[in-house]
């Protein structure tokens, strides 16, 4: 059972890393179309905060004797897996315009997603994927300090990103 848990965990991490590759591919395509990046500094802060959150969870968990094979870790793994599944649904929904950065393609290439998910949840990538991903990862490692302190720190660039994205989308698209 422990081997299966570790395999599942590392497969989910691999899928998360692959999403970063997808973002890079989409970013290059968007730039060729004439897309413009907004909030570069904050995007960098978000990426750094994300990596540091992961590393802090791993460090805290390792210091406590990670890996854990109990209900808390299983719940964390389930949340982590669900968040990555939602991430891939968001990537599928947004297709070529999805990136880790705030990049806006010219209007003829950039469509506003008006599906039920995007109507019900204004930013599903952040609220249904990123935040649960961090919570699940922290729970898996029993990283309570990182969950509280790291999440508080992470929310600063995330809230900034959401505000920037709202402002940019409203200024660029009449139907947003």
**What's the CATH number where 33 sits?**
1.20.120.1630
DSSP β-bridge partners for residue 36: 104
Looking at residue 65, what is its pLDDT?
A: 85
**CA dist., res. 2 & res. 139, Å (int):** 17
Burial of residue 118 (CB within 10 Å: 0-12, 13-18, 19+) is: middle
The string of DSSP codes covering the chain is -HHHHHHHHHHHHHHHHHHHHHHHHHHHHHHHHT-EEE-HHHHHHHHHHHHHHHHHHHHHHHHTT----SHHHHHHHHHHHHHHHHHHHHHHHHGGG--SSEEE--TTT-----SHHHHHSS-HIIIIIIHHHHHHHHHHTT-HHIIIIIHHHHHHHHHHHHHHHHHHHHHH-TT-
Q: Return the pLDDT at 46.
A: 97
The total of structural domains in the chain comes to 1
pLDDT at 153: 98
pTM, 2 dp: 0.94
What is the spatial distance between Cα 14 and Cα 3, in angstroms, rounded to a whole number?
A: 16
Residue 147 structural domain: 1-172
pLDDT for position 88: 98
Q: State residue 175's pLDDT score.
A: 81
The pLDDT value recorded for residue 76 is 97
User: Residue 66 has what pLDDT?
Assistant: 77
Please give the pLDDT value at position 2.
Answer: 86
Asked if the bond preceding 34 is cis, omega within 30° of 0, the reply is no
Alpha carbon of 70 to those of 5, 11, 102: distances in Å? 11, 19, 38
Low-confidence ranges of the chain (pLDDT < 50): none
Per-residue pLDDT, 174? 85
pLDDT of residue 110: 86
Copy the structure tokens of residue 145.
Answer: 């300090």
């Amino acid at each position: 059972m422990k081997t299966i848990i570790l395999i599942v965990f590392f497969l989910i991490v691999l899928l998360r890393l692959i999403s970063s590759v997808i973002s890079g591919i989409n970013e290059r395509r968007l730039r060729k179309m004439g897309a413009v990046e907004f909030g570069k500094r904050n995007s960098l802060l978000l990426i750094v905060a994300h990596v540091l959150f992961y590393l802090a969870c791993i460090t805290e968990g390792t210091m406590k004797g990670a890996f854990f094979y109990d209900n808390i870790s299983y719940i964390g793994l389930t949340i982590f897996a669900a968040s990555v599944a939602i991430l891939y649904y968001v990537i599928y929904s947004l297709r070529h315009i999805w990136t880790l950065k705030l990049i806006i393609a010219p209007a003829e290439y950039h469509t506003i997603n008006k599906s039920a998910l995007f109507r019900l949840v204004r930013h599903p990538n952040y609220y249904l994927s990123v935040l649960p991903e961090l919570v699940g990862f922290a729970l898996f490692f029993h990283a309570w300090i990182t969950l509280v302190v790291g999440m508080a720190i992470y929310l600063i660039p995330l809230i900034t990103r959401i505000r920037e994205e709202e402002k940019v989308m409203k200024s660029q698209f009449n139907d947003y």
